[in-house]
Amino acid sequence: MSYPDIQLFTAATMNGWKPLIFLEEAGAEYELVGVDFSTRAHKAPDFLALNPNGKIPALIDRGNNDFAVFESGAMLWYLAEKYGQFLSEDSNTRSETLQWLMLQMGGVGPAMGQAMFFARFAEDAGQASAAATARFTGESRRLFEVLDTRLQGRDWLAGDAYSIADMAMFPWVRCHCWATISIDGLDHLAAWIERLDARPAVARALQLPNPAPKFLARYD
């Protein structure tokens, strides 16, 4: 029995959707393994062998001697090179794409993650902080304004084509309501969200490995 090259371990989260969007867009065959947080499957020894940090997503490339990749941004980069899609061969455009990918990894993702925690979970965890809430929601909004400026007069973040930079940024930006961050006045960013939401492959990915929790709905 043959298996597809890619075995993907993931869950319905912002980072978890990123490689799913790529694989669906690329039309690649893959084996999807849903990771159950309730059983702490991501902390089990076999998972930690793939990702020592104990986070999703992670993947194994059976077509490359069972090479393991963790960190969602690194996975997008790896998959783009493996399949030759969504990362330009032009050196300048390629660099541009990776710059915006890194902004998601080092800026938008961390800021939004903290904004969500302090807006939604901190009080129940006994860690409520008005200052922290203001700090991270304010920083997320500032980063959204950077994206909005970038998208003025263009459809995609890097070059003239849809890329892994858009795939990385989209799940986090899409959940702005859950982080209590307004995108009022950010018309270019809003139009970009609409473009991505309209893509069939993106719609499929957002339903995997199971339908997204209602609280992550874009307009909730």
pLDDT score, position 212: 64
Identical fold for domains 6-83 and 91-199, yes or no, is no
Phi then psi for 165, rounded to 5 degrees?
A: -65, -45
Q: Which amino acid is at 78?
A: Y
Choose among 41, 67, 74: nearest CA to 55. Answer: 41
The pTM of the full predicted model, rounded to 2 decimals, is 0.94
Report the C-alpha gap between 174 and 171 in whole angstroms: 5
Runs of H (alpha helix) within the chain: 14-26, 45-50, 72-83, 91-103, 109-116, 130-150, 164-174, 187-197, 200-205
Angle between helices 14-26 and 72-83 (to 10 degrees): 10
Q: Residue 175 in 3-state DSSP?
A: coil
Whose structure tokens read 């938008």?
108
Per-residue pLDDT tens digits of the chain, which is 220 residues long: 689 999 999 999 999 999 999 999 999 999 999 998 778 878 888 888 888 999 999 999 999 999 999 999 999 999 999 999 999 999 999 999 999 999 999 999 999 999 999 988 888 888 989 999 999 999 999 999 999 999 999 999 999 999 999 999 999 999 999 899 999 999 999 999 999 999 999 999 999 987 766 655 554 3
Q: Which amino acid is at 185?
A: G
Sheet holding 30-34, edge to edge: 30-34, 6-10, 58-61, 67-70
Which homologous superfamily is 6-83 in? Answer: Glutaredoxin (3.40.30.10)
Q: What angle do CA 35, 67, 29 make, to 5 degrees?
A: 65
Candidate CATH numbers 3.40.50.2300, 1.20.120.80, 3.40.50.12780, 1.20.1050.10; the one for domain 91-199: 1.20.1050.10
All structural domains of the chain with their residue ranges = 6-83, 91-199
